[in-house]
Each structure stands twice: as structure tokens, then as C-alpha cells.
Structure 1
Amino acid sequence: MKSPLKLRVEPRKKIEVDGERQVTRKISVIDNDRNIVEPYDLMCACLDSDVQTVEGSGALFMHWLRKIEAGEVGFIDFGGNGWTVNANRDKVWFEGLYSQGEGGEVSFAQFKFALETYLKYLADPQHKPIEVEFPDH
């Protein structure tokens, strides 16, 4: 069965919400009506905030995921400027360093998929939007 969710990566947009100007995230999980799906909000906020380049922070995030996959570590917490990422082979969850929230548990596979997709977007010099089915587990 196809997942009704999509992972969308695109350039930031300036929008107005309730009379306030805001800037959208570059990465989000959306439903068929193109609404942001809340359970994945912390994951997307973390990636948007703490992964800026493929070679730098992106490579570091992938390094830690590979260590978990290889069985070199069973649990790790790592992160960047705004988030701590807690991960084991089954799940990943998030802690905002500046009261952005905590929790947002996703599967290891979902997080890795989101990170790899985001890195493809960052590697594209034209930053063409990407929209792909998001795994439901």
C-alpha cells in the first residue's frame, strides 16, 4: 500500500499566517491535501536547522547513522546548533536546545530517508524541489 504522506523539499518561501510574515522550512512531510503532518514536524525542524551542507553537517549526520547501522554503537546522541538527535537502530527522537520541543519519535528508516532526500536537494546547485513518497514506518 502506498503511503499517503509525501516528503517535500523546496526553497524557502515567505508567507503570511494570521497577519504575521513567516518563512517556510525547506523540508516537510505533507499529506494528500498538502498540509504539514505534525508527528514529523520536529524531525523536519531539526534537519532544516542543523543540516546546512552535504559535506559538513550532512556528512556528520550520515556518519553517525552509519555507525548505528554497522552496529558500532547501539545508541548515540548528536546534533548541531539547535537540536540534539537521539538515535538507535529502531527509532530517532529530538530535543530542541532552545525550547523548540522534544520528542517527535520517528523510525530510524524514516529519519535516514528524510536525511538522504534532503542531502540530494542540498547537492543540487539549482535546488529543484523534490517530492517523494514518505515511508509509513
Structure 2
Amino acid sequence: MNLWLRCQPRSIVVSEGREYWRSTIEVGSIQGAVGIDSPYKTMCGAIDEFIDVEYGEGVLEKAFAAETATEEIEAEGHAYICWLSKEGVVFEFQYGENGPEKGGEVTLGQFKLAVQTYLQFLRDPERKSIEVPFPE
């Protein structure tokens, strides 16, 4: 199955005098977006929580540091914590029905590609949609 990663604009939110782009980031195939239980769906949900480029760049720096780290590196967001290691990335959703829930493991390479693509999208003042091939 050939997968793609897509970032596209959804809406603009203004909070405390600051403008935030709400967007959609998703992984899909020729058959459409990957299902709700997919680890890719969890990854995209976590990345979509990045509030701005600066925060995303900090997460990306941690992802590159995880390549050589001997222990997991934590990247905390609003609703998710990302646990980064050279073996992969696991996401912990903070507001599950029974408390925090871990899941959605992806490779470190997949995560870095998704974050880099999302940052490229956020840096574009016109917020043009981006679609790139995504490794399985």
C-alpha cells in the first residue's frame, strides 16, 4: 500500500490577540485516510496539537537527539506526551476515559518526516496544502 502524508488548512483561531492556524495532518493511501485506530492517526493527532513553529522545532530537535540517546526523551504537548527513542515514538494521550493512555507507535523516521512536513506547512504564509510520500 502506498501511503501519503498530507497537511492542509482547516481554519484560523484567534486567542489572546494571537493567530493560530488549525489544520489537518493525516496519513492515507489511495483508498483514503488511514483508520481511526491507526498509529498514524494518533501521531497526526499529537502533531496537530503543536501550537506554533517554535514549539514544533523544539520537538524536532528532541527527535534528532533521540537517534543517539540511551534513554527515552519526553516531548510534552497540550493533550499528548511523545516518548521518543531510536526504537520509535509512542504517544500518551493525557485525557483518556481511564486516565492517560499510551499507544500509536511509529518509527522515529516516520515521526521526523511528519513533523518536518508539518513545520514546512506552518511556515508557508499562504498555508498551501502539502502531500508527500510516507514510508510504511
Distance 1:88 1:59, change over 3 A: same
- Partner of 1:67, secondary structure, is helix
Unaligned runs of 5+ in 1: 14-23
Per-residue displacement from partner, 1:4-44 (whole Å, max 9, x unpaired)?
1100100127xxxxxxxxxx951000111223342311100
Distance 1:27 1:6 in 2: 11
Distance 1:73 1:27 in 2: 30
2:122 paired with 1:122: yes
- Partner of 1:98, secondary structure, is coil
CA RMSD after TM alignment: 1.9
Distance 2:70 2:9 in 1: 35
Per-residue displacement from partner, 1:40-88 (whole Å, max 9, x unpaired)?
1110000001x1211x21121012112223x245311221111000111
Matched AA of 1:9: C
TM-score by length of 2: 0.80
Distance 2:89 2:69 in 1: 17
- Partner of 2:32, secondary structure, is coil
Percent identity (aligned):
34
1:1-137 to structure 2, matched below 5 A, reads 4-12=2-10, 26-37=24-35, 38-49=38-49, 51-54=50-53, 56-69=54-67, 71-99=68-96, 101-136=101-136
Distance 1:103 1:110 in 2: 15
More strand per residue: 1 or 2?
A: 2
More helix per residue: 1 or 2?
A: 1
Unaligned runs of 5+ in 2: 12-21
- Partner of 1:128, secondary structure, is coil
Contact 1:42–1:102 (CA under 8 A) maintained in structure 2: no
